[in-house]
Structure 1
């Protein structure tokens, strides 16, 4: 089949027309130039548009993707040659169905083509369904060259090495057998066999339960009698423990009353001791006063260190001040000295430059005067032969220039003297030395200023600490006099604070003890404690502690309740099991059904294994041919770098480099090499599954975009050769394909200039 012309109102194409040649067609257009839209249009004209398809996340259905942008109806016309006759296909809207209306007529006659309908068009013209066409001869938008397996493609591949039947694929037959197999048994818990096994096991379990229930009843009766005896003994022990616990409570109550009275006496004694000193401040205030006393000691040490630091700072300042004295910059700051030195340095350089300039003028002026004198004499001899006027004129000019030279020499002397005066003022040899002296003075002056600032900071800090020491001392004495008026110095303050804190701490402990004794006495009284005169005789504590007695009594009670429940359940089990004879008959019936289903399962498993072996034999017969052809195409596309291709049943490809041992999976290859690999597979599949005298066209949308220039050239050479056998539509967004094939026979170049995607 060969396509001659396409006319489309489809997506971004509005009444667009595309003429095609019989061999390789290179259709070049920029991005959004309509390449992918033309490819999609061709597929839609052949196979229609699935109106049941819906938009999904990240996916747009064709009926919405290719709706004309102008809002016009989706329609198109395709003129092609099939079996030597031209046929015109037309599709348009029918109701709400895009491309629902279809017609196929012989071009120029409007005579319908028999058997060619909208549903059978692609299958009849190309010989394959849409799924096979998309996985062999069609690379649409997105440019994915990878080949995936589908049942229809699998059936066609299988038909190449079988009897030619394409009705059922291996996967469909395998699926049917697996469905039957799974209906009988999927795993240990699903299927007819597991259900029968479960029911059979359940019936056997019911019969076993009946026997177990009888044995359980006799065992539970004995356990019940034993537990009731143990419970009686434990209850007697618990009563003894309760009596002894009540006596212990009375003893603790009596002891707590005695402790309460002792704590009250101690608290009263401390209250009387405090009354001798008057009311004491709060404990936190006393602790704060102690902290202030410690702070005064720290201040004393800091003041002693500060006085030493002040002496050192003043000595350092005096030393820096003496070192900063300089008669050349007397009374100046460092910045003023640098500024003055910079100005004098500039004056020195200016005078020195002026002297050099005037000294250079002296010989120049003398040379010019002598040259004028000689020139005048020469002119007099040449012009009129009279030397005297010219010589007198030249001598006058020479004298004037000589006088100017003498004056320049005197100015040079004055400038040199001025420069020497500047250097003498600083006792320096150059202007740079003057700047260095000023910079040194500035550093010494800054050192003296910094020493002065440091001495001032130390002096102010020392004065501040002395003031704080005096204020803290006065405040501390004032605080202590409130409860110790006899104190007159810091040592007395320390003793008074320690005594007050000790008394406060003892009072706090006494109050805490009194409060604890009162709380314990109240708690024991609330528990029912009473005064105890003496412990009764003859009452002994059981060997087991009360906790163990309670624990064992609870365990025995729970065990007795459990035995009662189990006994009731065993009785109910006896009544609920049913007739033993009916259960035995049901078990025999289930066993027969289970044996039959297992026989069926084994037969289906044998059939499935046989199907797999047959498919493996077919695959072994077909795979070498497909691998051989794909390997030949891969060698051509890569210039011989890869010599062979191997494919799995799912058409996942791997390539083997020449002189290499192991093939490389597609995941280990570059993107361009992967595209070359799957293009080779597609071309091999086309040769095997889409042969014939009038083969289906090959549609490639940006299929070579990842190829480098060398492998692109190899691919184009191969496609140009393949174009002698079948029509090829190569859409591209680059000009390099067309430029390479420029002037090649059998190649048609077309440039698109429309909209589209």
Structure 2
């Protein structure tokens, strides 16, 4: 189409163009010349399609020229491709004078000339025959939308569907959506907060109870100790005192033995612990020595590199050629004199010719040449110095240094590996002594405690041996005071019971604190609850906004339908009756889009029951009615691209006749691939 000139007459213009000529491209050209090619909206399929689909085949940039008649004057519009993008350079001027038309710009050209935006122009003033090939359900929705509001894009229905989807995403009718989830989260957090407050109250009460039990246990222990002290003081007889001491030692030994594991296991664990402590000391020593080793290695490498660098400088200095420039100058002078004497026969010493036979003019060139040769030899004699002794092999020294460094690293790794093995052994030995052991610190503590108990047994056994020896050396045993013993036993039992109750209270306090730790801190729960409440408020506002927008769209669509639908339906009925030769005389809009036949029964047929040709006529009648209703008296041309693709000759004739009738009021441009009969 490059360089082609296409003219449209006033009123009705019918261009018959073959398939593949570019009728759709021509329609797109008219739209772009009026409204421009929007390349900024990268997310729209239309802009992307125009940029790729209508690229010129000759490789040149997009450009176009459109001449129009506006307000009684001819105006030329030119769009070209520039730095802003395809068809972004705009120019409008009056054709007769060349004066710029300042009322028209690249953005408002179509709006000013036609009185409508691009979307309204596409939906009302451009009829594409390809729309008739839509699926039945989609075409039925399109017909209903056009008959109700004149909207060929179904924007109101799409907007309502999107708002409904947003509303369901926020809150659906079955308890799903973001808002119910947030409310459920709020309820859960409030329950956790209430539970945490209850636990905090219980923990405070339990702590107070533990403090009270501690005081009672301390009182029982003090009473026991005072009674025991009084008991021992009341034992006037030395033998009775020794017997008491023996019983106490034996009792303590039994108690210690009851809580101490097998002695062999304790000894084995003690040996493992000693090994682990030695491994810890060894690993710490190796690890602490590593920085010094690294420093020594780095200093040695720097020292070797510096020595090698200094040696290279010395070699370069001693091996540099030494030329005696003074001797060279004399050699040059003697050579020049010899050449001048031999070639030009210059007499340098005429007054001393043949003096004493020592100087002969003919032998002077040879003498000067000999002197030049001697000076030349002196110039370069000794210029190449003997290279110094080679530098010791630094690579071997570095290799030995790396080997030593690697050996130290291997020792450090070996110490760390041994430490890990000893740690595992300590943990295993600790688990044999106590099932509660989980780490090496607990295992070491258990082993040390067991060792201390063994040592305590040894001391108690030694003390018991001393008591037995004293008893054996002393007099016969005296009877103890039963009353005093019973009182002491009762105090001991009371002390044990107080300690047991205190331990149980502490265990209960630990359980309560563990439950509170599992829930979290009060500040965290309150912060989450506050954030959840704010999110609920935002979701409620969003839901109200969506609901309000839905009501506005519904009410505005209903108002537009009440205002526009009767006019569109009335015009469409008259156009359909004309197109079908009064075979269909009524269009009814209900749950299904239907048309009444002109037969005796006057049967109502829905869109699916109509023939293909009748359905195309119905679509064309609605599009023409939309054009007349929405455009009204505006000077907007009606452009039709092959609207009779599926029509026979008779339907095509009646359609063209109707378009000619419309061409009396506005410009109508029909592009088709066949002529009318």
TM-score if structure 2 supplies the norm length?
0.44
Larger Rg belongs to: 1
| TM-score for the superposition, normalised by structure 1 | 0.40
